[in-house]
Amino acid sequence: MNIVMAASEAFPFCKTGGLADVVGALSQQLGMRKGNKVILFLPHYRNITRVSSLKVVPGVYLIPIGDRIEQVTLSYINWGSVIVFFIGNRKYFDRPELYRTKNGEYPDNDERFILFCRAVLEGCKFVGFRPDIIHCHDWQTGLIPAYLKTVYKLDAFYTRTRSLFTIHNIAYQGHYPYSTYEKAGFHPVDYTPEKFEYYGGMSFLKSGLVFADNINTVSPTYAKEVQNDPSKGFGLEGVLRHRSNHFCGIVNGIDTEIWDPETDPILPVGYDCFDFPRGKTACKMLLLQECGLEQNPDKPVVGIVSRLDYQKGLDTVVNVIERYKGRVLFTVLGAGDPRLEKAYQALARNNPTSVAYRGKLDEELAHKIYAGADLFLMPSRFEPCGLSQMIAMKYGTLPMVTQVGGLADTVTGFPASNATGFFINTLSENGIVSTLETALQVYADKPAWTKLVKNAMMADNSWDKSAQEYIDLYKRTVN
């Protein structure tokens, strides 16, 4: 099967969050399977990494945006079993960050991703790769299915091409005014509520949901939530219910080559599920030392690796840390909401031996927190899938999570015999305190704790099963 993956980011080339991890790992999994040819399209951002051996496709091709024409170049790299094409346009992609500055979103993000979506379709023709399916990820690629069903409807190159659109987080929708619709080059006759119109403007995400041949999201529970709960569907629950026969949830996996405590080169000692106490203690002491926290291997450590925003529920944690700073050590890695950043900075400044905070993306420290912490706190208000809880389990760090979305699908809550973590039943300070008290009681019971850690480390959250589910979905979509 000829598979095109289209995304605005993919690890290890460009990353702001979990989308990049999923796209990178899934692309490789699909490419390694017999009979698949996989190409991945990404914007050629200024800070693309791991591309010292880029090759240039000769020539340029043209993309219309409104009444203007933009030139696009292609360069590529052979990345394992996948060919990665980078779509080049310095005007739109040669910038310090992927989507925004500290002052907010780039004001021309609509034009940037109009260009990207059309450049993917024209790029396939430019290199002569006729896809069976184009797998589009999140709002930045939402116009690709729409172009296939409208502008490219009579294009013989795409006669047999079908599209799959994956929602990674429905809260981000790419909502723009009607002028964006005009710039995108769609016909006025298609500007209706059933198709493109959305609150007087247009939504790239809605366009993907309406026009894709099949749609999915990244966990079965989240698929139910976004159809039935207005607080989680963000205005699109009606569209999703209308397309429910073509909508499903496939839980993400984690890349077990990158996330493996036995072979992780960042850790001082490797360990597995049969020999974790010694290894985790060594990792814990390294983490405490690096963070300047109290060097006490017996005191429980709670780790957080997260964006700091409303979705993640970390506003409810600040006072909990204040209450537990004598009994528990906390290490927090994350940036986002300036008010939350200041709150965590103040906690760390006022409690330097019990609270550590790092406010920038630090992959190495993330590995050390996953390995060195005892508990991993993830009190999300909603969570499409989440990768951190699965990574934490792989490293023998027990997640404390709200029972929403992919967290509910990937964690088994104590006191089940096969428990791999703890559920926060109510998202509030008291709800988190109640769960933390339960976790600390189990932590004090070493045999019980050891059993939970072993359960967590033995859970299979690799991409093997999920990648096969995507292949099955591709086949249903194409046929």
Quote the strand ranges of 339-453, DSSP E: 355-358, 375-378, 398-402, 422-424
Position 250 pLDDT exceeds 90: yes
185: region left, alpha or beta (phi > 0 left; psi from -120 to 50 alpha):
left
d(CA 334, CA 308): 6
**pLDDT, mean over the chain:** 97
Give the mean model confidence (pLDDT) for residues 278-287.
98
Show the domains of the chain with their CATH numbers: 2-253+464-478 (3.40.50.2000), 276-460 (3.40.50.2000)
Please state whether the peptide bond connecting residue 12 to the residue before it is cis, i.e. omega within 30 degrees of 0: yes
Give the pLDDT band (50/70/90) at residue 103: confident
Give the pLDDT band (50/70/90) at residue 361: confident
Give the pLDDT band (50/70/90) at residue 374: very high
pLDDT in tens, 315-355: 999 999 999 998 999 999 999 999 999 999 999 999 999 99
* pLDDT value of position 102: 81
Give the mean model confidence (pLDDT) for residues 234-240.
97
Strand, coil or helix: 470: helix
Give the mean model confidence (pLDDT) for residues 2-7.
98
> For a pLDDT cut of 90, what percent of the chain falls above it?
96
d(CA 119, CA 110): 14
Position 62 pLDDT exceeds 90: yes
* pLDDT value of position 343: 97
Largest Cα–Cα distance in the chain? 69
pLDDT in tens, 178-201: 999 999 999 999 999 999 999 999
Q: What is the CA radius of gyration of the chain?
A: 23
Q: Which tokens go with 178?
A: 């009607």
CA-based nearest residue to 370, from 352, 351, 387, 346: 387
* pLDDT value of position 50: 82
* pLDDT value of position 132: 98
Which residues have a Cβ under 8 Å from the Cβ of 146 and sit 6 or more positions away? 186, 196, 207, 208, 210, 211
- Partnered with residue 254 across adjacent β-strands are 462
First to last CA, the chain: 12
CA-based nearest residue to 6, from 85, 89, 114, 64: 85
- Partnered with residue 100 across adjacent β-strands are 105
pLDDT in tens, 434-461: 999 999 999 999 999 999 999 999 999 9
Q: Are 60 and 72 in contact (CB under 8 A)?
A: yes
* pLDDT value of position 66: 95
Give the pLDDT band (50/70/90) at residue 51: confident
Give the mean model confidence (pLDDT) for residues 77-105.
95
> For a pLDDT cut of 70, what percent of the chain falls above it?
100
Position 293 pLDDT exceeds 90: yes
Tokens 């999300």 correspond to what residue? Answer: 380
Q: Which tokens go with 400?
A: 């404390």
CA-based nearest residue to 135, from 36, 235, 15, 232: 36
Give the mean model confidence (pLDDT) for residues 114-118.
98
* pLDDT value of position 65: 97
Give the pLDDT band (50/70/90) at residue 78: very high
Give the pLDDT band (50/70/90) at residue 417: very high
Give the mean model confidence (pLDDT) for residues 113-122.
98
Q: At how many degrees (to 10) do helices 18-31 and 463-478 cross?
A: 70
Phi and psi, residue 226, nearest 5°: -75, -15
Give the mean model confidence (pLDDT) for residues 24-42.
96
Ranges of H-type helices in 134-177: 143-149
CA angle 474, 475, 479 (to 5 degrees): 120
